[in-house]
Structure 1
């Protein structure tokens, strides 16, 4: 997928999404000397904030919610952008580059950057029961913390990164925690069987009950409040509070009639361009990674910043293809896992530094003869140094003449 964009330097830029990626795009534009008008449209009433602390520091109460803000009010004001918050986008006309909002506002621009992120998936019927939560927004984190503090038993549905982090945080708060999901170990899909097995041992030692390898078919409740989680085996795991952490879907409903290609995100070319004058960034963007030769969508904090820099360059008609080596991290108890690159499900994994028993190691992932990723467990420097082993396999091929 490729397209030309002949609009030149835009006089007005509209960023749809007051997210980390949206804010980073504005900051990158200003650093590059862009002096035109910038509007940032956000569906939440909050100024841009950081999401990784929500499942850890904010949920545990170690941070006041204001501390999750990405920038001070002074720093936001210095950007010279118009932040329109609490008014969600409901439609886009690509031809006129105009966005309609829930309140009826119409905002036009010469270039539009879509940064609407993702929405947490939910279980059928969960809205009808009090005590059932998702965790995506700041308000979600505060509502969940308010429910956890007076409660004793938590069931987390979903054994991925977010579910595992929530389980760890809740255990440190003293709750009885059960983690359930269809896979065999925490984060099995993200890190493979070797490392997820070590993670399972860590959670078990800390007192989390693992009820994995079976699906969840629904929720149990009495008098409008959740009382448990029903498994495919028909067993009910008792709960005072339930968190549903079963992944997220790109927030693209508002683009249904836009004519943009929407398939697992906003489909873009290698420059993160979805149409002439329209770009996508962050969790919502599914772009062509030239190093891999396929479409990629990444849900992680690092990509939000790195892709924003590439998108700002593309908006100004600069820069090359965006082909990063992905990076994400997770903190659970005293374990910090850092992942560089891609960890395919069929990868061969070997420990190249440290050892599993000491829980301080670097694991290397190979697929089809290529090193595709490295994972560090409490070895951040060593994992970062081995990142260069991946970079060659993800390099963008030189243009042919």
Structure 2
């Protein structure tokens, strides 16, 4: 089987997420990264390309240069897909341009800066029949698939409440010293209408969508900026009414001092509940109504088929974020090869991306206004 060729936008030497994207895409040997744009500085991009052992003529100045360069190559030697791992404000233009060139897209979240842009991307993806995959990497873990299995098979009963939080502490030092470092996440022109909700809150929402399939209908939000001079939110909480009348609470923060990457979800049903923590991703707790708990472990026969397939190593051998990303990439590669795959289930798709932007716009509107509840736009 011929390896797929990929390009990447972003992934500079200091980009941890760029490394995760490249490692995840290459992990199972189905693809190789053969082209890239690694910096706005052409010299830095060339140096990074050399470090990655790319051919010099496939290290490009910008995404437009990449498209021109790749389309000038023989069809059998062009990139099949691109990974967009650049700041938020670039996602829409890049995605639409690569679709126009007939190239499949894996994109970092958020899908775009606005719901209007997200809807345009979805339509372009549908019309072109090209892959659009959002790299919500946490949905690739084996235990999130087991959690979904427990919900879908009725083990939890009727879902009535979801509590999800995503808390980090990396912006907390700026509370006392706003000039300590700069980040584009606090720039509305690049980040969009939100910082923390656009960055990690949208991950939390997607995890809820993936595990429960619940669709948010209306929201009541309290977003705030704690860092002096920060025009965007750096923490906030959202009450959610889902369409089936379930209730939810989503909390996100990047100024929670001491926190690392605390993405945690609890789903409560009429029969049982489940709890999962991304920092301890190998286990899933099923909380029974009698007060006992059943602990599911990654890589064991007790798991559903999807969870077993998502584990690369035997039980007791830890797997991590790169393996979770690899599951998303490998599902996307099956789509490109026209093999059996279910967008929105095997990998986060454009529909979920559109819901994420509708959610962001609704909570920003609600937090700034005086109404108790804001109904999300019908999609």
TM-score (norm 1): 0.31
Q: Greater relative contact order (Cα 8 A, min sep 6): structure 1 or 2?
A: 2
Greater C-alpha radius of gyration: 1
